Structures are given as C-alpha cells and as structure tokens.
Amino acid sequence: MESKIISDFVSQFADAELLMNFHGEVNEGRIGIILGEVEQKLENTEEDFKKQRKVYNILVEGLQNLYHHTDAMADGIDKENKTATFILGRKDNEYFVLTANYIEVNNIPPLKAKLDKIKSLDKDGLREYYKEVLDNGQYSVHGGGGLGMIDIARKSGNKLEYDFSTVNDDFGLYILKIKV
C-alpha cells in the first residue's frame, strides 16, 4: 500500500510524536488490540481527558470503517492486498489520524459524493444531516448508512481530508485524514 500521501503524512512526524503506525489485515481482534494500545498511549499523555476521549472515539469509528469497508483486491492474491493502514500522530497539541484501504472502483463515486456533502457542511449542517440519515432508516449492510463519517466530522470539529488513487482497473486506494 505505497502512496506518496501516506509517506508524506508519516514524514510530518519526524520531529513530533508518532503514536501508532499500523499496516496489516484489520479484523475484530486486531481492532481491540490497536484500541487498547492507543488508549494506553493517550492516557500516558498530558492531554486533558475530554480530548483523549474525542480522539479515542474518532479512532473507534475510523477502525470500524476499515474493518467493514476494506475491499479485498482479489481472492488468491497475497494477504498484502487485503490490508489497511492506520496512523495516529500528535504534533503541537493536535492529533492527526490517517486511514487507508482498498476500495472497488465502482464504490468510489458514491463514497466521494457522501464525503463531499459532509465536507460542505458546517457544525449545524452536520447535526441536521446526522438526524436526516438517522430518520431515513436506510442503513448499509454494515448497519451504518454513513453515520460514522458524519460522526467523525462532528467530533473532530474539522473538515475531513480524503483522496482516492488508482491501484488497477478494479481497485483504488481510499485515504482519509482527520485532524483533532
């Protein structure tokens, strides 16, 4: 999962604190391990409890998205192609999260449309959109209906940054950056 965006993101922590840099297969057990490690690292910072909880809750949503929405590139291809990346860093009292996963190209346009809508909304707009999605009752097979991304945007208080790059004719790489 090589990407200039990912390597540039990691390099910004050369003079800061890289709390987690995970690259591998995401499953329920691994999510629990990652969250446990991150929670311990957050508790060891001098950050106020409220910000620690905000960062932790955003990480839960981000990891759940990786677990539910990472597309395997193809059966029979090495495990490397079924992996995701999760990075957490801290610099100047701000936390930065990056998630990256493979996505089927036909899933990119609807995801990009949802992300564009979320990015266009202010705090009040995000609250209304969250209620609208809850009220419409249209949930995905994973139970969300897009609530996770809205929740991440609301909790972070910042605009989501995202990018899609082409891997091959069938798959792309979806990269999400969150600042808290």
- The pLDDT tens digits for 131-140 are 988 887 665 5
What strands lie across the sheet with 161-166, from one edge to the other?
Answer: 17-24, 84-91, 94-104, 171-179, 161-166
> pLDDT under 50 in the chain at which residues?
75-79, 142
**pLDDT for res 76:** 42
Distance of CA 113 to the CA centre of its chain: 17
Give the separation between CA 127 and CA 133, rounded to whole angstroms.
Answer: 10
Which residue, 106, 111, 82, is CA-closest to 170?
106
pLDDT digits (tens, 9 = 90+) for 29-67: 888 999 999 999 888 887 888 999 999 999 999 988 888
Residue 75: predicted pLDDT? 47
Task: Tell me the average pLDDT of the chain.
Answer: 84
d(CA 137, CA 143): 10
pTM across the whole model = 0.84
Q: What is the pLDDT of residue 24?
A: 85
Q: Which amino acid is at 43?
A: E
pLDDT at 164: 92
CA distance readout (Å), 179 to 36, 58, 103, 116, 161: 21, 10, 23, 17, 9
- Who's near 94: CB < 8 A, 6+ residues apart? 179, 180
Distance between the two ends of the chain, CA-based, in angstroms?
A: 25
